[in-house]
Amino acid sequence: MNILGIDYGLVNIGLAIAYDDLVSPYGNLKRKNDAVLLGKVLEISKREKINKIVIGLPEGKVAPLVKDFSQKISKIINIKVVLVNEDLSSQNAINTMIKLGKKRKDKKKLEHQIAACLILQNYLEGIS
Protein backbone atom coordinates (compact mmCIF):
# COMPACT_ATOMS: atom_id res chain seq x y z
CA MET A 1 0.00 0.00 0.00
CA ASN A 2 1.34 3.44 -0.95
CA ILE A 3 0.48 6.19 1.53
CA LEU A 4 1.06 9.92 1.09
CA GLY A 5 1.88 11.81 4.29
CA ILE A 6 1.27 15.55 4.45
CA ASP A 7 2.59 18.13 6.92
CA TYR A 8 0.33 21.10 6.16
CA GLY A 9 1.86 24.46 7.01
CA LEU A 10 0.80 28.03 6.38
CA VAL A 11 3.50 28.48 3.73
CA ASN A 12 5.12 25.10 3.05
CA ILE A 13 3.55 21.68 2.70
CA GLY A 14 5.87 18.76 3.42
CA LEU A 15 5.30 15.43 1.70
CA ALA A 16 6.43 11.91 2.47
CA ILE A 17 5.49 8.58 0.96
CA ALA A 18 5.33 5.15 2.54
CA TYR A 19 5.80 2.31 0.11
CA ASP A 20 4.55 -0.52 2.30
CA ASP A 21 6.51 0.14 5.52
CA LEU A 22 9.36 2.23 4.08
CA VAL A 23 8.80 5.96 4.67
CA SER A 24 10.75 8.47 2.56
CA PRO A 25 10.68 12.25 2.18
CA TYR A 26 9.02 13.21 -1.10
CA GLY A 27 9.30 16.98 -1.37
CA ASN A 28 7.72 20.33 -0.55
CA LEU A 29 4.88 22.27 -2.06
CA LYS A 30 4.24 25.97 -1.60
CA ARG A 31 0.80 26.88 -0.32
CA LYS A 32 -0.35 29.48 -2.83
CA ASN A 33 -4.00 28.50 -2.97
CA ASP A 34 -5.90 25.32 -2.31
CA ALA A 35 -6.91 24.78 -5.96
CA VAL A 36 -3.27 24.60 -7.11
CA LEU A 37 -2.29 22.55 -4.07
CA LEU A 38 -5.15 20.09 -4.59
CA GLY A 39 -4.18 19.70 -8.24
CA LYS A 40 -0.60 18.85 -7.28
CA VAL A 41 -1.72 16.36 -4.63
CA LEU A 42 -4.02 14.73 -7.19
CA GLU A 43 -1.16 14.54 -9.72
CA ILE A 44 1.23 13.00 -7.15
CA SER A 45 -1.45 10.56 -6.00
CA LYS A 46 -1.95 9.29 -9.56
CA ARG A 47 1.76 9.16 -10.39
CA GLU A 48 2.72 7.32 -7.18
CA LYS A 49 -0.40 5.11 -7.09
CA ILE A 50 -1.40 6.39 -3.64
CA ASN A 51 -3.99 4.30 -1.76
CA LYS A 52 -4.38 6.51 1.32
CA ILE A 53 -3.49 10.05 2.43
CA VAL A 54 -2.46 10.81 6.02
CA ILE A 55 -2.49 14.47 7.06
CA GLY A 56 -1.04 15.76 10.31
CA LEU A 57 -3.62 17.67 12.36
CA PRO A 58 -2.05 20.37 14.53
CA GLU A 59 -3.62 22.18 17.42
CA GLY A 60 -4.39 25.89 17.18
CA LYS A 61 -5.14 28.23 14.31
CA VAL A 62 -3.97 25.92 11.51
CA ALA A 63 -6.31 23.06 12.53
CA PRO A 64 -9.43 24.45 10.77
CA LEU A 65 -7.39 24.99 7.58
CA VAL A 66 -6.16 21.39 7.70
CA LYS A 67 -9.69 20.03 8.25
CA ASP A 68 -11.00 22.12 5.36
CA PHE A 69 -8.14 20.97 3.11
CA SER A 70 -8.73 17.31 4.01
CA GLN A 71 -12.44 17.64 3.16
CA LYS A 72 -11.56 19.19 -0.22
CA ILE A 73 -9.15 16.33 -0.96
CA SER A 74 -11.82 13.78 -0.07
CA LYS A 75 -14.22 15.38 -2.54
CA ILE A 76 -11.85 15.37 -5.54
CA ILE A 77 -9.81 12.22 -4.90
CA ASN A 78 -11.35 8.82 -4.38
CA ILE A 79 -8.78 7.93 -1.71
CA LYS A 80 -9.26 7.54 2.03
CA VAL A 81 -7.98 10.60 3.93
CA VAL A 82 -6.96 10.18 7.57
CA LEU A 83 -6.21 13.01 10.01
CA VAL A 84 -3.69 12.18 12.74
CA ASN A 85 -2.38 14.16 15.69
CA GLU A 86 0.88 15.84 14.74
CA ASP A 87 1.88 17.35 18.08
CA LEU A 88 5.49 18.51 17.95
CA SER A 89 6.21 16.89 14.58
CA SER A 90 7.97 20.03 13.28
CA GLN A 91 10.02 20.37 16.47
CA ASN A 92 10.90 16.67 16.35
CA ALA A 93 11.92 17.09 12.71
CA ILE A 94 14.25 19.96 13.64
CA ASN A 95 15.73 17.92 16.49
CA THR A 96 16.29 15.00 14.13
CA MET A 97 18.13 17.23 11.64
CA ILE A 98 20.28 18.72 14.42
CA LYS A 99 21.28 15.19 15.46
CA LEU A 100 22.16 14.45 11.84
CA GLY A 101 24.30 17.59 11.66
CA LYS A 102 22.28 19.25 8.90
CA LYS A 103 23.16 22.83 7.98
CA ARG A 104 20.68 25.65 8.65
CA LYS A 105 19.67 26.03 4.97
CA ASP A 106 19.11 22.26 4.72
CA LYS A 107 16.95 22.36 7.86
CA LYS A 108 14.61 24.93 6.32
CA LYS A 109 14.36 22.89 3.12
CA LEU A 110 13.79 19.55 4.86
CA GLU A 111 11.80 20.51 7.98
CA HIS A 112 8.33 19.87 6.57
CA GLN A 113 9.39 16.77 4.64
CA ILE A 114 10.87 15.22 7.79
CA ALA A 115 7.77 16.24 9.76
CA ALA A 116 5.63 14.49 7.10
CA CYS A 117 7.83 11.39 7.50
CA LEU A 118 7.35 11.45 11.28
CA ILE A 119 3.58 11.88 10.93
CA LEU A 120 3.44 8.97 8.51
CA GLN A 121 5.75 6.77 10.59
CA ASN A 122 3.67 7.40 13.73
CA TYR A 123 0.53 6.52 11.79
CA LEU A 124 2.05 3.27 10.50
CA GLU A 125 3.25 2.30 13.97
CA GLY A 126 -0.23 2.98 15.36
CA ILE A 127 -1.95 0.63 12.91
CA SER A 128 0.58 -2.20 13.22
State pLDDT tens for residues 20-62. Answer: 889 999 999 988 888 899 999 999 999 999 999 999 998 888 8
Provide the pLDDT for residue 96: 59
**Cα 56 from Cα 48, distance rounded (Å):** 20
Provide the pLDDT for residue 9: 85
Which structural domain range is residue 113 located in? 2-127
- Domain harbouring 116, CATH code: 3.30.420.140
Yes or no: say if 66 and 7 are a contact pair by the CB < 8 Å rule. no
- How do residues 80-106 score in pLDDT, each as one tens digit? 999 998 765 555 555 554 565 655 555
Yes or no: say if 89 and 56 are a contact pair by the CB < 8 Å rule. yes
In the predicted structure, residue 111 carries a pLDDT above the cut 80: no
Provide the pLDDT for residue 43: 95
**Cα 72 from Cα 75, distance rounded (Å):** 5
Provide the pLDDT for residue 13: 93
Q: For the chain, what is the domain count?
A: 1
